[in-house]
Structure 1
Amino acid sequence: MTISVTQLNNYIHGVFDIDGVLNDISVCGEVTNVKSSRDGWYFSLKDENSAIDCFCYASATQPEVGKMVVAEGKINYWTKSGRVSFFVRRLTVSRNDGAAYLQFLQLKEKLQKEGLFDEVRKRPLPVFCRKIGVVTSATGAVIHDIENVIHRRQPFTDILLYPVKVQGVGADLEIAQGVNYFSSCDVDVVIVGRGGGSNEDLSAFNSECVVRAVAQCKKPVVSAVGHGVDFTLCDFAADKRAVTPTEAGEFVTVDSSAVINAIQQRLLRASNVVEKQLSESKNRTEYSLQRISSVLKLNLHENVAKVKGSIARQNACVQSAWQRENLQMQNVLSRLSAANPANVLKRGYAYVRSEKGRVYSASQVTEGQKLTVTFGDGSAETIVTKVNNET
C-alpha cells in the first residue's frame, strides 16, 4: 500500500492522540536553548544522549538554562512539518543543576575572584579605530555583518581577520590564539564574535583559555557572541559587550556621515551666531551713530544759537559803542568847527599880523605900523593911526 506524506503524518498524529503515555507524561532533563516569545518560552530538554524541543506558556515556571527540571505535559506531532515537540503544562525545578551549568558557574566564580571581570580593569574603546582585528569564522555571516557596518560608517578602516572555528573540538584554542595574535599586532581594537546558537554552540566562548586571552589582551576587546539573550564568560572579560556583531562594528567606528552632518550643523550654528552678533553689533553701531549725530546736531544748534546770540550781543555792543563814539566825534567836530579860525573870522573876527608875526595885543603895535588884517573872506593892508590901550 502506498500513501501520501500527508496521510502518513495524519496517521502518526492519530497514534499520538490516542496514546495514553504520550498525552500525560513527565520528563526529566536539563534546560537548554531558551527563547522567549509573545506567548511563552521555547526551549530544549536534554540528557547525555538526546534532546527534545519543548514549549510552555508564560503562566508556567520560566525555564532557566542549565537547570535540571521535571516537565509534565503531552507530546505533539505536527503534521505539516513532521516534527515532534513536548507541550509542557507544568515545569518543576529539580534539586540538582545540570553538570555543564555547574561547571560554567564554578569557572565564572573562579575567574571572578581573580578579578578578570572587574569593571575597573575595563578600558574605553578608542574614538577612531584605523585598524580592527576580528576573530571569527571566515565563512559565517558575522564577518560580513562586521565588514558591512564598518565600511558603511567608516570607509577608511582596515579590517584584519583571524579565521577560526567558532564551535566544536579545538575551537576554544583557535579563538584564544587569535586574540593573542592581535594582542601583539598593530591594531586599535579586537572584535571576538560569532552568531547565535545553543549553549553547546557557544561553549567555546565559555572556555577558560578564551576568557584569559581576552582579559590579558593588550588591546581593547569587544565581545559579540550570540544575540541579546546569550551571555558567555567572554562577555564578562571583554572591555565591551555587543549584543550582535553589527553592534560591535558600530561600537568601534564613528558614523562619518553623522560626523559630517554634525560638523555642518556646528558650522551653521556658528555662522548663525556670528551673523547674529554682526547684526547686533551693526544695530548697536548705527544706534550709537544716530545718538552721536543727534547729540552733535543738538549741540550744533545750541552752539549756533549761542554764537548768533553772541554775535547779536556783540553787534548791539558795537552799534552802541559806534553810536556813542559817533556822538562824541560829532561833539568834537562841532567844537573843532566852532574853534576853526576860518569860522571865527566868518563871524566877524579878524586875524592881525605884523612883520614880526601874529598880533595878539594892542600893546604889540605902534602908530604908523603897517599891519595885515585877515577877514573871513579876504585881507587888507592897514597902517595904525592910533593905539588905544585899555588898562
Structure 2
Amino acid sequence: MADEEIVTATDEETEPALSVSAAMGLAKGALESVVVRLVGEVSEVNDKPGYKAVYFTVKDEKAALPCMMWMNRYQAAGVSLAVGALVEMTGRFSLYAAKGRMNFDVFSLTLAGEGQLRLQVANLARELEAMGLMAPERKRPLPAYPQTVGIVTSPRGSVIHDMLRTLRRRYPLAKVLVAGVPVEGPGAADAMVDGLAKVVFAGAELVLLGRGGGSFEDLMPFNDRRLARTIAACPVPVVTGIGHEPDTTIADLVADVRASTPTAAAEAVAPTRQETDARLAGLGQRLGRSMELKLTGAARSVERIAALSLFREPERLFDAEALALDDLSDRLGRALPDTLRENRHRVGLLGEALTRMLPSALDRSSGQVSTARARLVSRGATLTDRFAAPVLRDRGRLHSAGEHVTDRFRRSVAVNAARLHDLSPLTVIGRGFSIARTDEGAVVRSVDQVAPGASLMVAVGDGEIDCTVDRCRRIDAAVEDWRE
C-alpha cells in the first residue's frame, strides 16, 4: 500500500501542475454537469429587495447546502420560502470560482410533504383573516360562572379525562356535556362540526374543543375550512386546547379563546374556589358599601324632611283656611245689616200692597151682589117665585164663597204681619240688639259717620240711652287685636 502511494505521487509529480483558476474551472465543469433532485428543510432565507436572486440554505441531519434561485424562477414557482419549510428542488451544482464557493442553482422549487400542507394552511389563514374571522373585536368574552359546559374531543385517551378532572376539581357546579368524536383522520373535521352543533343545541353556554399532541399531519382536521367557519358562527364562545404550546391551528385562530393545552382550556373556563370566594367577598363588600350609602342618604332625607316648618309648626297647614274663615266672617258681619234692611223694606212693600188689594177685592164682590139683587127685584114677583129656591141656594153659596175669599187674604195678612213683627227693629232690639242714632236721627252704620266727642242716642229694648263717643275702631283693627 505504501509502495502504491509512492508510485502514485511520483506519477502525479511528473504531470504539469494546474493553476488555481484552471483547477476551479475543471471542478466547475464537473459540478455543473450534474443535475439532481433533492429534499431538504429550509434553515436560512435571504430575500432582500433589489437582489437578482434568492439565497437560502437547506439542511438535513448531517449536512447543509447553500442554494440560489434566480428571481424570475422563484416568482414563477409561487412558493414563499420560510425557515422550517420542507422543500423539493431540482437543479445543478455551481461553483463561483472568484470566491471558491459552491452553490446549488435551483431550477424548480415546490413544498414537500408537510411543507405543502403548511402552505395550504397559510393560504386558508390569509383567506379567513381577510373575511374578518380572526379579528380581535369579534372574540366574545367567556361567561364568569357557566352552568353548562360542552366538550368536543375524542372519547378515548387522556384529554377527556384531564378536562373532566380539571372541571370537577375547580368548578364542580358545572354540568358537562360531552360529544365524543374522532379528532384525526378522514371525516374528523365533519364529526367535530356535528359535535359542536349537538352540544350547543343541548344547552351548552360555552364549548371546549381539544385534542392531545401530534404531528402537523395529525392536526390537519383542525385546519379545515368548514370547521373554522362553524367555530366563528357558533352562538356561544368556543375555547380551543389543541396539541402542545407551539402548535397553532386555524381553529385556534378563529376561536374566542386559545389555550396552550386541553388542561389549560378547562382551567380557562372554570374559576377556582378561591377566585369564587374572593369575588363573592368583593361583591359583599360592594353591596355593604352601597347599602350603607343608601341608608345614609335616606337618613339625611328624613332629617331634611323633619326639619321642614310643616312638621315643626303643623298649625300652619290651616293658615289659608283660617284667613278665608276670617274674611268670610268679616263679609258676613258687613252683609247682615244690609240684608235685614232689604228684607224690612220688602215686607213694608208687601203690607202696603195687601192693604190696597183687600178693600178693592171686597168692593168688587159687593158690587156684583147688589147688581144681581136689583136685577132680581126688577124681574118681578113671578120670576122671584120661580127662582126663589135657586136664588136662596145661590145666596148661601155666595155668602160661603165670600167668607172663603176673606179667609185666604186673612191668612196672608197674618203671615205678613208675623214676618213684619220678626223683621221689626223693635223685635231685634228686644233680643238684645241696639240701634245708634246721631243727633239728626240718622242710623249709625259706619265709624266714619261719628268722631270722638260726638253725641249718640242708643235705642234698647226698654228705652233710650244718651251716649258720648270716646273712641272709634274698625273691625279689621279689632280682629288684629284679638289675634294678638
Question: Comparing both chains, which one has the higher relative contact order based on Cα–Cα distances under 8 Å and sequence gaps of 6 or more?
Answer: 1
Question: Shorter-normalised TM-score: what interval?
Answer: 0.3 to 0.5
* Structure whose residues are more often strand by fraction: 1
* Structure whose residues are more often helix by fraction: 2
For normalisation by structure 1, the TM-score amounts to 0.46
